[in-house]
Structure 1
């Protein structure tokens, strides 16, 4: 089975729940467990929140999500055209937050990595960031 979808929306925090639900509905065609669905939705929430909060801290922009299903795997890419990440390796460290907002835990990338099988981050300063995550469905990855 192969299928894909593309979604674009303004970088408003209200759209995080919409993105989560839309990707969850798309992923549901894979006959997921409740845990797999929750993992995907949580990872998408983190990626979209990062795009909104860190990609566009001072202005509005667009966030794009592309999902592709191939066989028993889903690939999700969340892209912004925002400020980008200067040091990806540092940004991916647990508890690191590039935001002065003390309410941010700095665990977004760690959460994405723990709930998905793969995580790739590409970014360029003042050009934006693309976060690509994959998850195999129905595979016992804890063996």
Structure 2
């Protein structure tokens, strides 16, 4: 059994404004493991796409609740679940094909799952028509050694005294 380093679970209304909330929450959650800017942007984008899918396709913009659940294991693996109890997906395999959309071509690009797959290490989608969808995503973060730095005040005092 993997030891958890941290975990969160939050529920929010399925409205478009809360897609931004999900991005901010996942970014703050990841701050403790010091991701690179690229890693952070990848996860934020994948979470944003999953939340947007829940709002637009899961609930068809009629409201409901979205659950964001995330864990970071002691060995640096992030697991994120985005869960809705909306209409579900009839054919998950088809829905995951690039450019597939249930909207009109002018409304949606059909790239949400493709972005999630590209930005995360693994993606799994479970769905039941009439019950909802759970998007599971994983990303591993390498352990980074802290950079040794001098405190600013100490460095300023040290340099003023003429010592190097």
Please give the range of the TM-score, normalised by the shorter of the 2 chains: over 0.9
Deviations 1:81-131 (A, max 9, x none): 000000000000000012236221000000000000000000000100000
Q: TM-score w.r.t. structure 2 length?
A: 0.82
The question of whether the paired residues in 1 share the 8 Å contact of 2:15 and 2:61 is answered with no
SS at match of 1:18: helix
Stretches of structure 2 lacking an aligned partner (at least 5 in a row): 144-164
Partner residue in 2 for 1:105:
109
* Aligned: 1:39 with 2:42: yes
Deviates more, 1:84-93 or 1:24-33: 24-33
> Taking CA–CA contacts closer than 8 Å with sequence separation of 6 or more, which of the two structures ends up with the larger relative contact order?
1
Larger radius of gyration: 2
Stretches of structure 1 lacking an aligned partner (at least 5 in a row): none
Structure 1 runs of 4+ with >3 Å offset: none
SS at match of 1:77: strand
Partner residue in 1 for 2:30:
27
Q: TM-score w.r.t. structure 1 length?
A: 0.93
- Between Structure 1 and Structure 2, how many residues are aligned? 139
